Structure 1
Amino acid sequence: MTFHPACDADRRESVRTVADLWTSGDAFLPLQTSGSTGWPKSLMVPRWAVQQSIEDSAQAFQLAPGQRTALSMDVAGTGGRMMLWRALALEMSLQVLPVSRQVDWEGDLDFLALIPQQALAFSSGQWTRVRTVLLGGAPLQVHEEQALAKAPTTLYHGFGMTETLTHFALRRVGEDPVYRCLPGVTVESVDGALVIHAPSRGVEALQSTDAVTVHDAHSFTWLGRLDGAILSGGKKIFPEEIDRTIAAAFPGHPPGFAGGLADAQWGEALVWYSEPLSDIQRARLITAFEALPSWKRPKHILEGELPLTPSGKWKRKLGS
């Protein structure tokens, strides 16, 4: 393990501390959930379950001792922590980088795990210096998927959570919306929610807050978060699904997204937030709405500055 010269003292100390957790040989390891199955909380997870997740990743991405990788994420989170432990357990050659949206490393890499915002900031030359990239930590918005699909490397989006010890299913970015489970993992849908079975990782009937279409026990398509659904006229609408349909019907549409607005008639009205449109763009957008069932069509187009959360994500629900 080597540190990039730009890593400050806090970064070096935090990485060494988390590395020591692995090398200590302790039977249980600490992780912090993000809230995918409820309120965020701290967990002590069995070492053998973490080891199984690492072995599953090694098989999926053909990882081996001596291969080159880098750590670009904060080790306070599960993604960064698991990447560090993965590299240590597999005896990979690891570069520790500063936590930054702009990721830079030395030489070529066999494997790199990133959040979408880091991948979107890549230069064209960086893509040719890494064999396989795994994205995680957040869903890909439609425009992000379209941009990343052009990357000249093998690019996966992982599906997982702390309780499943990170990714348990993968899909190729830009090719397929269907996630396929890693060996030993099966899924089902209960009342529209994803339920995960991964006994080799100690996971039994774990119910998430993700809405999915399950194709079989080993594959599914993500629709959105159940806790992010818009309840309009007594029906649940998943805004991410609306985004995907509009992107297909109106490729390259001006930046915008589906969201909900408190409404006396509907409870929540499905609306489309958009940057300012020309008359032609507005007409094309309205035509694109016709690709949706009538009850899933946005009731209004709200033009202007897109509403964002403090962290820069789309703010899909607004009050009246």
Structure 2
Amino acid sequence: MMDLATALRWTTERYPHRRAVGGSAPMSYAVWNARTERYAHALHELGATEGSRAIFMLQGGEPLATLHLAAQKARVVSLPLSTRVSPEELAYCIGDCDPALIAVDEHTHDLVVGALEMVAEPPPLVWAGHRDHAPAGIPSIARAAERASNTVVPVKPGIDDISVMLYTSGTTGKPKGVPRTHSAEHYAALAHLVQTGHGPGEATLGVMPLFHTMGLRTLLASVLSAGTWVPQARFDADEALELILAEQVSALYLVPTMYWTLMQGDRLGEAPSVRNLAYAGASMTPTLARRLVEAVEPARFVNHYGSTEIYTFTVGPENSSKPGCAGRAGLFSRIRLVDPDPGASPDQIVADGERGQVIASLDSPEAFAGYWNRPDADAKAIRDGWYFTNDLAVADEDGDLWVSGRVDDMINSGGENLYPEEIEHALAGCPDLEEVIVASTPHDKWGQAVTAFIVGRLEDSAETTLSKVEQFAREGSGLPSLKRPKRYVVVDQIPKSAVGKILRRRLTEGEFETLADTEEGAPA
């Protein structure tokens, strides 16, 4: 197993003139490799010494990818952070990881400056944005790179060195740092290539942010396969389709909400180059999966189920015939379904056909070794060499996994345990809605009420949407009365994270604007 710096250099030796970066500012592997060497020198010059950590607060695209790869060569831990964090969250992360520097651009400068006011010993800023927008007094990493020689950086990271640290799950408390080694990142990229059928030299759309494991996997898999990584700093459906057509993108790895947006007007079917589809980060409704199959006719359509901590849990390679199925353990993975009780042991395996919590072996070479400075989080999530995902799933008669939500999202209504995703999939077949998410809300009689939060069609009023969806739930969803929502709420949008993941907890906690509501006395 090799480190990521060596991986990029060896790919460059094999294919120096192959297109490495696509889009409006393309680069060959020889050019990109040399660029990352100079930026690695620059990181050292600006104070990020070997073994230190550097926060990269950039909007995305090639500048962020170059810094991430340069950090691998400089033996510096890369910390790409979400540009949508609050100043308070950012201040916490800065204090938690003690970075040698923070790289900013024109999109993040003010956010970072505000966060640094809350940090006792703020690290220095370096400029990584457009030269014309550089504030006075902040050193430019591009200028430092220009002063650097074209020689190979005279350090070599080890496979057990930390490559990257991602912060995750700030919705239920403080963000948790997930350190990942060069070896774990390399194995994860190899697994991605095999599991999604990503072939040598393929072009892929680099729109998933690099502060998310999916974005890193798309980038690193492209490097290992000597493919073309086509950057898009921020998702825009029209621009994405233009890039897919212009660059002959053949492999897509996106969250379901992005696919949903690309499918408006079925325009994705106009891109004949696309042949491999993969998704992760959230469940995909069978309705959307069928639409993608009809429009694209993919050669391979994969549901990847995993996490930041362990890249792969399971892979569902038959998403065309079993839409939404999470499949079986991945190439380097081992999983079990155990009792959902928070104190369950790895040996409390549920019976065949019974719903249980998914746990994954930390013996996987794709796995992390524990959270950064968070023994409390380790104690909750790690037990006897297994990682407890907090996800619920059931295995079908073929042994394939069907994920049915989070342990914390399970709704106990009138003494019955109900699972939001199962209800969502049934309601998603209604032609009179654009999006539906199911969560619990308090109820005097039932304790928790199954509540459907709906985004309606633009041409329908909120009251019309409410009436049509209620009728579909009764007559067309196939849901028994026990599982049908007790309450329907029409909202203007479903809350999502920066990478499009549904923030169900916000709905449960009442953080939504009501357009129409079946609950008597609720605001409309």
One-letter code aligned to 2:316: L
Conserved 8 A contact 2:338-2:359? yes
In structure 1, the residue matched to 2:168 is 34
Conserved 8 A contact 1:193-1:226? yes
Question: Residues 193 and 10 (structure 1 numbering): CA distance in 2 closer, same or farther, change over 3 Å?
Answer: closer
Shift of 1:277: 3.9
In structure 2, the residue matched to 1:68 is 203
In structure 2, the residue matched to 1:252 is 431
In structure 2, the residue matched to 1:80 is 215
Equivalent residue in structure 1 for 2:189, among 40, 54, 58: 54
In structure 2, the residue matched to 1:178 is 325
Superposition CA RMSD, Å: 3.4
One-letter code aligned to 1:285: A
Equivalent residue in structure 2 for 1:317, among 497, 508, 519: 508
Question: Residues 316 and 172 (structure 1 numbering): CA distance in 2 closer, same or farther, change over 3 Å?
Answer: farther
Shift of 1:165: 2.3
TM-score of the two chains, using structure 1 as the length reference:
0.82
Offset from partner CA, 1:236-279 (integer Å, 9 cap, x none): 321111122345xx653545443322112222112334553486
Does residue 461 of structure 2 align to residue 299 of structure 1? no
Conserved 8 A contact 1:210-1:225? yes
Equivalent residue in structure 2 for 1:265, among 445, 448, 458: 445
Residue 70 of structure 2 aligns to a residue whose secondary structure is helix
In structure 1, the residue matched to 2:3 is none
In structure 2, the residue matched to 1:2 is 21
Residue 168 of structure 2 aligns to a residue whose secondary structure is coil
Conserved 8 A contact 2:312-2:333? no
Shift of 1:38: 7.7
Runs of 5+ in structure 1 lacking a partner? Answer: none
In the alignment of these two chains, the number of paired residues is 316
Shift of 1:212: 0.4
Conserved 8 A contact 2:439-2:507? yes
Shift of 1:223: 0.7
1:104-143 matches, within 5 Å, as: 104-105=242-243, 106-122=246-262, 123-141=267-285, 143=287
Partner Cα distance (2:197, 2:481) in 1: 46
Question: Residues 9 and 299 (structure 1 numbering): CA distance in 2 closer, same or farther, change over 3 Å?
Answer: closer
Partner Cα distance (2:185, 2:171) in 1: 19
Shift of 1:234: 3.3
In structure 1, the residue matched to 2:413 is 232
Shift of 1:216: 7.9
Question: Residues 294 and 136 (structure 1 numbering): CA distance in 2 closer, same or farther, change over 3 Å?
Answer: same
Runs of 5+ in structure 2 lacking a partner? Answer: 1-19, 27-57, 75-155, 340-355, 368-384, 457-462, 511-521
In structure 2, the residue matched to 1:199 is 363
Conserved 8 A contact 1:116-1:135? yes
One-letter code aligned to 2:247: G
Identify which range, 166-175 or 77-86, moves more after superposition: 166-175
One-letter code aligned to 2:479: L
In structure 2, the residue matched to 1:220 is 401
Structure 1 or 2: larger strand share?
A: 1
Shift of 1:127: 3.6
One-letter code aligned to 2:333: V
In structure 1, the residue matched to 2:124 is none
Conserved 8 A contact 1:277-1:303? no
Identify which range, 230-239 or 170-179, moves more after superposition: 170-179
Conserved 8 A contact 1:233-1:268? yes
In structure 2, the residue matched to 1:187 is 335
Question: Residues 36 and 129 (structure 1 numbering): CA distance in 2 closer, same or farther, change over 3 Å?
Answer: farther
Shift of 1:69: 2.7
Offset from partner CA, 1:22-54 (integer Å, 9 cap, x none): 445533211315339986422222222222222
Residue 52 of structure 1 aligns to a residue whose secondary structure is helix
Conserved 8 A contact 1:223-1:241? yes
One-letter code aligned to 1:261: T
Partner Cα distance (1:254, 1:109) in 2: 31
Shift of 1:166: 5.0
Does residue 68 of structure 2 align to residue 18 of structure 1? yes
Partner Cα distance (1:160, 1:65) in 2: 24
TM-score of the two chains, using structure 2 as the length reference:
0.53
In structure 2, the residue matched to 1:285 is 473
Conserved 8 A contact 1:64-1:91? no
Conserved 8 A contact 1:212-1:224? yes
Identify which range, 309-318 or 102-111, moves more after superposition: 309-318
Identify which range, 235-244 or 251-260, moves more after superposition: 251-260
Shift of 1:219: 2.9
Question: Residues 89 and 217 (structure 1 numbering): CA distance in 2 closer, same or farther, change over 3 Å?
Answer: farther
Q: Which has the larger radius of gyration?
A: 2
Give the % identical residues: 18
In structure 1, the residue matched to 2:98 is none
Residue 86 of structure 1 aligns to a residue whose secondary structure is helix
One-letter code aligned to 2:386: A
Conserved 8 A contact 1:31-1:78? no
Shift of 1:119: 2.4
Shift of 1:174: 4.4
Offset from partner CA, 1:168-226 (integer Å, 9 cap, x none): 42344443132222223232111221111263425442111111003489631111122
Does residue 292 of structure 2 align to residue 158 of structure 1? no
One-letter code aligned to 2:363: P
